[in-house]
């Protein structure tokens, strides 16, 4: 599930659940809405993302890329090591400002996912 919230300067995207091929159908519409809001800052909240693969990463990258083309910035918060690893393999880490200090409010994972495994991507 993906929610969009907005203030005068910032669009915040709160993503919950899995970010993979099964969710791809909703990506274009959300991207269009985010672009339409024309805020300088895009915050992507990943606290409740249970899983992201290269398809999900491609979605985040397209958001960050269209923001950058308009001179905006994209902040990624709550992404775990494995999500960052996927973005790194996609060569896209420098598109994002990574908020490493963010502490997710609720550590309750989204409904439907049993647990969130600790990631061990190789160095």
Partner 1 sequence: MTESSGPVPPVSEGLLGAALLDAILPVFVTGSWDDGMPVLWVNPAFTESTGISTDDMNRRGIHPLLTLVEDDPDREPGQASLRAGKPTERMIRGQRANGAPTWWHVSMSPIPDGDGSVRMWLGAATDVSTYVQRHAAQLASLEFERRERADLDLVAQTSELLGDLEYPYALRDIADLLRALVPWAGFYLNDDGLMFADGVDVASPPSGRGRRHTRYVPESPVLAHQGDQLGDDAAGVRASVDQVQDLLDGVVDGPVLLELDGRFPAHSASGWLRRDLVRRIVEETGVIPRSVVVHGVAGRRRVLGLVASWHGAGTAVDGLVGPDPDEIPAEPQHVFTVIEVVARRAGTAIDNARLYAREHRLAEALQRAMLPEQAEVPGLDVWTYYAPNAEHAQVGGDWYDVLQITEGTVGLVVGDVVGHDVEAAAAMGQLRSVVRSYAFELATPGVVVDRVDQLVTGMRIPRSASMVYATLRHEPDGDVWAVQYTRAGHLPPLLLRDGTVTQLADAGGSLIGFGSKPRATARAELRRGDVLLFYTDGLIERRDRSLKVGLDALIETSARITARDAAGVGEELLSRLADAPEDDVALVVVRVPDPVVDAEVQPLSPRSRRWLLPSEPASIGRARHAVLRTCQAWGLPESASAELVVSELVANGVLHGWGNIALRLFDTGDGLRIEVEDSNPAPPVTTDGHPNRLGGFGMQIVERLADWGWRPAGSGKLVWAKLRPTGA
Give the residue among 34, 5, 6, 17 at the shortest CA–CA distance from 109: 17
Distance CA 95, CA 113 (A): 29
CB of 100 to partner 1, least distance (A): 19
- Distance (Å) of CA 32 to CA 16, 19, 59, 62, 67: 19, 18, 12, 11, 12
8 A C-beta contact, residue 51 and residue 83: no
Interaction of residue 30 with partner 1, rule CB under 8 A: no
6, 20, 68, 98: residue in contact with partner 1 (rule CB under 8 A):
20
Closest distance between partner 1 and the C-beta of residue 35, in Å?
A: 15
Residue 55 binds partner 1 (CB under 8 A)? yes
Nearer CB in complex with partner 1: 10/80: 80
The one segment of 7-15, 30-38, 66-74, 78-86 that binds partner 1 by CB under 8 A: 78-86
Binding site for partner 1 (CB under 8 A): 18, 20-22, 24, 51, 53-55, 57-58, 61-62, 82, 85-86, 89-91, 114, 117-122
């Amino acid at each position: 599930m993906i929610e969009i919230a907005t203030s005068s300067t910032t669009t915040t995207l709160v993503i919950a659940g899995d970010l993979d091929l099964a969710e791809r159908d909703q990506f274009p519409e959300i991207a269009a809405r985010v672009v339409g809001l024309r805020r300088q800052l895009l915050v992507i909240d990943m606290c409740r993302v249970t899983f992201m693969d290269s398809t999900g990463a491609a979605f985040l990258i397209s958001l960050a890329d269209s923001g950058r083309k308009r001179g905006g910035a994209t902040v990624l918060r709550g992404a775990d090591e494995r999500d960052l690893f996927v973005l790194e393999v996609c060569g896209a880490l420098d598109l994002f400002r990574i908020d490493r200090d963010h502490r997710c409010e609720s550590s309750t994972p989204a409904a439907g996912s049993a647990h969130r495994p600790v990631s061990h991507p190789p160095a």
